[in-house]
Amino acid sequence: MPFEAINPPQFPTPIAPFSAGARAGNTVYVSGTLALGEGGVVLHVGDCAAQTRHVLEAIRTTLEAAGATLGDVAFNHIFLKDWADYPAMNAVYAEYFPGAKPARYCIQCGLVRPDCLVEIASVAHL
């Protein structure tokens, strides 16, 4: 099945060869999203809550460009640099998914930029 690359025009140029998202049939995949600005500059350094909010807003924008919403998200992949940031990430995450919660996993790992604290990738079904 062919897919459509989703690259919202207001997004900075990706730091690697990928699209912000892809739609294949009724499924939208959103790439791992970090709190990055133009030129790969890390935004909200040291503030996991602010980075999480930035990431989820970017995911929302990508989903909307594909004809989906956060309400269509069925699964999230969450990566944290440090477990100490788990409560801050969860507090913001709960604001964006107030009703039925998508399935998810959350792991601690190194991220592509040392100042990045959280990365989230999503799968939505229309």
Q: Residue 81 above 90 pLDDT?
A: yes
Q: Residue 1 above 80 pLDDT?
A: no
SS3 sequence of 43-111: CCCCCHHHHHHHHHHHHHHHHHHCCCCHHHEEEEEEEECCHHHHHHHHHHHHHHCCCCCCEEEEEECCC
d(Cα 25, Cα 16) in Å, to the nearest integer? Answer: 25
**pLDDT category, 12, cuts 50, 70, 90?**
confident
**pLDDT category, 26, cuts 50, 70, 90?**
very high
d(Cα 80, Cα 5) in Å, to the nearest integer? Answer: 26
| pLDDT, tens digit, 9 for 90 and up, residues 89-109 | 999 999 999 999 999 999 999
Q: Residue 15 above 80 pLDDT?
A: no
| Domains of the chain by start residue, with CATH | 4-125 (3.30.1330.40)
Average pLDDT, the chain: 95
Query: Do the beta carbons of residue 26 and residue 125 sit within 8 Å?
Result: yes
Q: Residue 110 above 80 pLDDT?
A: yes
Its pTM surpasses 0.85: yes
**pLDDT category, 16, cuts 50, 70, 90?**
confident
pLDDT number for residue 52: 98
